[in-house]
Every structure is written in structure tokens, then in C-alpha cells.
Structure 1
Amino acid sequence: MDYNVSREKRKLVSIKDIAQEAGVSPSTVSRALHNHPHISTETGERVQRLAHEMGYTPSLLARSLVTQDTATIGLVITYTADPFLSRLVQGVEETARNSGYSVFLSSSYRDYERELEVVRSFHERRTSGIIITGSQIDTDYLDLDDRFPLPIVLINCRTYPYSVSADKISGAKQAVEHLVQLGHRRIAFVSNAKLSTDLDRQTSYQQALREHDIPIDDTLVVEGDGMLESGVRAGQKLLSLPQPPTAIFCFNDMTAMGVLTALREADLQVPRDCSVVGFDDLEISAYLCPPLTTVRQPCYRMGQAAIRMLLQLIRGESGIQAEVLPTELIVRQTTGLAPKPS
């Protein structure tokens, strides 16, 4: 039999097809494919070889009916276009695949109702569990157990018991400490008021200033939304102050890129006139001009840790605790000594 037919013409191979070719019963093929001890080595090897040559793929639906596990994971992200999520998704998908699970991906667009709708659809699809990034619902899931009984792991929600987060408190402190060591005292912060995780960064920013006896100036804290355009607007607002900052710490790298654009449009040089620090360490950040100083979040490892935690929940293991992974300051060329007073 010629099995090297084109993919377009190839039909799905069934256990009956293999049985007919092998000259055995379908039940014998099924047992051989599952390494049943009552099947002889010779028959088992012949069936396995034929299944491979014929391109047989086990039915996940049939498997789920037997095991009550669809071997699928629902992954809810904020936006498919968010570059921060690419390495995180890669970590989830590769670790899931190595564990025999497939991943369904859907976006919430940072909308509460949309997130609920996506989570509900994953339940209807009988996924084995769900991972959510940038959740707008976060700890409210604890009150929704009766509606959503599947295991749920949140990413970057430290208050949720089953979560994996980067240490944003330490990361923000490292960023501010770095700027203080360079002599800066007017250090601004561009926030993202839409996210509860922003509070960690802002609180740590303020605490670091206090530790160095630097007064808190509310005019130096400007709200953004984590996107490039809001970074431009925030930069313009800060530069319009009677006494502009000499350094700007940004919620994320996208915001920092917008701030760099505002500084460039104002004919200011970085870092001579103003230093800028981002947060995330997107791949593009190392290739900006100048390359961006930023706080690195271990995105790939966060994805790995999230799927491992979810698999523990699926298996019904106990003693599972929230994980916080370390962040790291990556010093490049957008930070320098504070300009001397004119």
C-alpha cells in the first residue's frame, strides 16, 4: 500500500484501517497502541509500525471520553499584538506540549465582560484548565468557583493564591536606586492606572524616594495606559512642567518608547538631558537608539511556571503556593548622570 499520498488527499486513518491492513481485529489494534500486556511483542511492534506509516493520529475526543481530560489548556491574554506576551506564550505552549497538552488562545482586551465570556467558553469546551494574563477579575475568581470550577492560574496577580508573578516591587526599587545613584532627584513615574499590578511599581517608586529623603512630588506621577501613544503624551506633559524631571521611570517599555519620542521631538538628548528607564525588556529594547535601560521580567519562565502550577492543580495536588520570580535591572544607554543645575 502506498501511504505517501498528498496531505490534501489523505483521509484520517482509523483503527479499523490499521486492523484491516494488519489482518487483526480492531480491539487488538487498540490494545497494541496502548501497550496492553496481553499483546505479543511481535504483534505490538507490527501494529505500531503500521500506525506510524499510515499516519494514524489518536482521537483526542475519544481519549477525553475515557479519561475525562481533554488535554487542552485555555490561555487568556490581553492583546495578541502585545509584544510583552510573545515569550510568555512561548513558555506556556512549549511546556504544555512537552506535557501532552494543547493550548487554545483568546484575547480579553482588558475588558471584564470579555474576559468572563472567554473563560466561560473555555469551560464549555471542557478545557482541562485556564491561564489568564492581565486579568480584570483577578481575586473575584475565588467567589466564582461554582460558575467556573476548572483550575485557574493567573499571571501577575500576587494576591491570587494560584498565581505566577514577576517581582515588580524589587524591579521598581532597582530602577529608582539606579537613577538616584546617578544623581537624579527629580524622578518622574509614568503609570498604568488600568492595572492593579501598577500599584506595586508606584508604591515601590515612592518608597525608594523616601528612603533617599527625596520629597514625593505628585506632579511627577502621570497616568498612562501602557501603550506607546500614551507614553508620548505623558512625556509631553512632564516636559511642560515649570521644573521638568531629569529622569523618567516608565510602567513598561512601550511607554518608555513613547517618552523617548517626546524627548526627541523636544530636541532633548537622552541621557544627557533626561534619563529613561522602562520595564519588561522587550526584545526591541536592546535595538532602540539609544538602547533602553529597563527592568527585565522573566517572561518565558513565567509561562513555564504557570503551566506547571496549572498541571499540579489539574492533578489535584495540595500545598500549591503563589510564585514570585525575580526581576533584573538591565543597564543600557538611556540612563546617565543627572544634568548639572544651570
Structure 2
Amino acid sequence: MPRQEVSISDIARAAGVSHSTVSRALRDSSLISPQVRAQIQQLAREMGYTPNAIARSLQTQRTKTIGVVVTSIADPFYGDIVKGVEAVTRAAGFSVFLGVSHNDPFQEMQVIESFHQRRVDGLIIASSRITGSFHSRSDRLHIPTVLVNNQTEAQEAPLHWVAIDDKRGAMLAVEHLVQLGHRSIGYLGLGNRPRSNRLRLEGYRQALVQAGITPRPEWIRVVAHDQESEPDDAGLGRQALPELLDSDITALFCYNDMVAIGVLLACRDLGIAVPQQLSLVGFDDVITASYVSPALTTVHQPKLQLGQLAAQTMLDILQNRPVENHLLFPSLIVRSSTASL
């Protein structure tokens, strides 16, 4: 038989006090003396009392839960984002629900709707692809929302955000390759991250122009996506490299580390030595980037900090404190996948 849950009434009978006295003591109310509070809380622990979250949420109109939406659980980038979110929310007594959108705006909206049905107090959405339809609906649902590295071009005033400076990160990558003597530098981007891909491509072009190099169309490849059959980012990088090699590039800047790792695999298949024949730079600095061979030069995103700031921004919204958006600056991590021409 299932174990009978211990209720506040059970504790009240055992302690010989009223239901309201136990309820206040368990909430640490100052209306109850510290000695009585301690005695009742100790008795509740001994009896195995577990607070009823549903009943508590009906009283407070808060569930103490945050819904977090990421595009993938396979990409280690999002694992660090969630780790940062969870560290801040746990310390504040909140729990995290996790949903995955797979870079599909329709599926992202479904996850958000399911979180609304569970009455989450707020949403943190990484790499969101949803445009105005969600923004109008989020107002109707009254769900505070914080975006992490938003992928939609429209910057909606009601939504708060934290983000990395994508353009500056791309410039750091290309400037590094130029300093190594490379003049034919390619860019391999992803079409399903429209905003960050545009900004990284802009940074790539600007860094080349500042170095007196005219970007050539054949150096640039932005991979389009078929949502039904697309491989992961590493698979896309592996597939796309041969076409770029026809343009005689000596270095390649990739949209992210997973694409760059796919390029490394393709180089191994084709017998191309990295960095002797092709220098390679990624973006994100996921943990895998330092494990591959050669270790990947990459643009570091402060992923934990992105998650922590998103969570703190959400708590500020929920507690009616002043709220700021945050643009973080990346840095370059030089490893052994790049070398002088």
C-alpha cells in the first residue's frame, strides 16, 4: 500500500497546537516564537513531512519554477548555459524545467505552451527562433521572459535578454588568422541561427576589409537546413568542407566549435593536415574543443555567466527589482589548430 502523506493536521495533533500555528511555524512566521517554531519544524522532520508544492502555489500564486528552453541537449554549449541558470535559481529556492526545441520555432512554441500549462513563474529561452507571434502571446500569458543569444532579428522591447557580442567575436577570430599571415580565409556558417550567423559574418567581413583583404563570395558558405533530415552541426561541417576547399582557402573560421569539429573530421578523411595545410578557428569554446586533436583555437563565450545572468535577470523581474539587459564580450583562446602560413 502507498505510504500515507503526513499533513499539517497530523503535525498539529501530535504537537497539541492548532493547524494555523503549524502552518505559520513551517513558513518561519515571526508571529510564532522561535522556540515553538524550532520544536514544530523538528517534529515535522521527524514525522517525514513534505510540503505540498501545489497547495503552496495556490496560496502564493507562484510555483517557484522556471522553464528553460534550449535548442539541443547534444551540444555542450547549452549544458553550460543550463548549469549557470540552475546554480542561481537553486540558491533562490526555484526549480528548473527543461525543454528542447531542436531549432524548430513550432516545437519551441509547443514547449513554451506546455510550460505555461505547468504555471512556471518565468521562461528563459536560449537561441530563440520565435518572432512576433510569441511576443504577443507571451503578453497574453503574462509569462516574464529572458532571452539568451536571441536568434530573431526583431528586438522586442517587453523581453529582456543577455547575449554575446557575436560580431566582435568573429573579428577576434579573423584578426588572429590575419596576424598569422593568412589572406585567403573562409567562413562556414549555419542558416538556422539567422541573427548570430549574420553578425558573425559581418564581423568576418569587417576584419578582412580592415586588413586590406576583399572577401570573395567563394570563400563563404552558409549551410541551409532541411529540418526533416539535417545532420547535427558537426555533420554539416563535415559535409560542407570539400566545396570550400575548391576556393583555395588556407584558413577557415567556423560558426561554432561543433561545425569546426566536423571540419576536422573531414580533413582527416581527405588527408588534409591541420594546421599545416588549413588553419581552423571555432566559436563557443565548448569543453570538447580542448579534447580534439589538434586542440581547437576558438572564440570563448562565458557560457556559465550567460546562464547566471539570465537567471538573475529573471529573479529581478519576479521580485520587481530594476532590470538590465547584458551584452558580454568574448575572448580568443589560441590552441594548436592555427599556425602561421
Same-fold call, TM cutoff 0.5: yes
What does residue 180 of structure 1 align with?
178
- Which residue type is aligned with residue 200 of structure 1? L
2:190/2:222 contact within 8 Å kept: yes
Q: How far off its partner does 1:258 sit?
A: 0.8
What does residue 190 of structure 2 align with?
192
Q: How far off its partner does 1:10 sit?
A: 5.1
Structure 1 position 266 matched with structure 2 position 259: no
Distance 1:151 1:38 in 2: 33
1:78/1:133 contact within 8 Å kept: yes
Over 3 Å counting, the alpha-carbon distance change for 1:221 and 1:331 in structure 2 is same
Instruction: Give unpaired runs (5+ residues) of structure 2.
Output: 226-231
What does residue 322 of structure 1 align with?
325
What does residue 211 of structure 1 align with?
210
Task: Indicate the RMSD between aligned Cα atoms, in angstroms.
Answer: 1.9
Q: How far off its partner does 1:21 sit?
A: 2.4
1:256/1:278 contact within 8 Å kept: yes
1:134-213 pair list within 5 angstroms? 134-138=127-131, 141-157=134-150, 159-161=155-157, 162-196=160-194, 197-213=196-212
Percent sequence identity over aligned pairs: 43
Distance 2:105 2:185 in 1: 33
What does residue 280 of structure 1 align with?
284
Q: How far off its partner does 1:140 sit?
A: 5.1
1:256/1:276 contact within 8 Å kept: yes
Moved more, 174-183 or 193-202: 193-202
Q: How far off its partner does 1:188 sit?
A: 0.3
- Which residue type is aligned with residue 187 of structure 1? I
What does residue 336 of structure 1 align with?
339
Over 3 Å counting, the alpha-carbon distance change for 1:189 and 1:67 in structure 2 is same
Q: How far off its partner does 1:214 sit?
A: 0.5
Distance 1:145 1:258 in 2: 37
- Which residue type is aligned with residue 176 of structure 2? H
What does residue 52 of structure 2 align with?
59
1:168-195 deviations in Å (ceiling 9; x for gaps): 1111111000000000010000001111
Moved more, 283-292 or 60-69: 60-69
Over 3 Å counting, the alpha-carbon distance change for 1:220 and 1:11 in structure 2 is farther
1:15-26 pair list within 5 angstroms? 15-26=8-19
What does residue 229 of structure 2 align with?
none
1:120/1:148 contact within 8 Å kept: no
What does residue 240 of structure 2 align with?
234
1:223/1:234 contact within 8 Å kept: no
**Matched residue SS, 2:187:** strand
1:39-50 pair list within 5 angstroms? 39-50=32-43
- Which residue type is aligned with residue 290 of structure 1? P
Over 3 Å counting, the alpha-carbon distance change for 1:157 and 1:311 in structure 2 is same
Moved more, 305-314 or 152-161: 152-161
Q: How far off its partner does 1:231 sit?
A: 0.3
1:90-112 deviations in Å (ceiling 9; x for gaps): 11111111111111111111111
Distance 1:182 1:37 in 2: 67
Moved more, 166-175 or 16-25: 16-25
Which of 244, 251, 257 in structure 1 is aligned with 2:248?
244
What does residue 80 of structure 2 align with?
87
- Which residue type is aligned with residue 55 of structure 1? G
Q: How far off its partner does 1:255 sit?
A: 0.3
1:13/1:55 contact within 8 Å kept: yes
Which of 105, 112, 118 in structure 1 is aligned with 2:105?
112
What does residue 223 of structure 1 align with?
222
1:242-265 deviations in Å (ceiling 9; x for gaps): x42100000001100111111122
1:282-313 deviations in Å (ceiling 9; x for gaps): 11111111111011111111111001111222
2:129/2:150 contact within 8 Å kept: no
Distance 2:165 2:117 in 1: 34
Aligned residues: 328
What does residue 3 of structure 1 align with?
none
- Which residue type is aligned with residue 59 of structure 1? N
1:153/1:163 contact within 8 Å kept: yes
Q: How far off its partner does 1:337 sit?
A: 0.5
- Which residue type is aligned with residue 337 of structure 1? S
Q: How far off its partner does 1:53 sit?
A: 2.4
Distance 2:306 2:314 in 1: 12
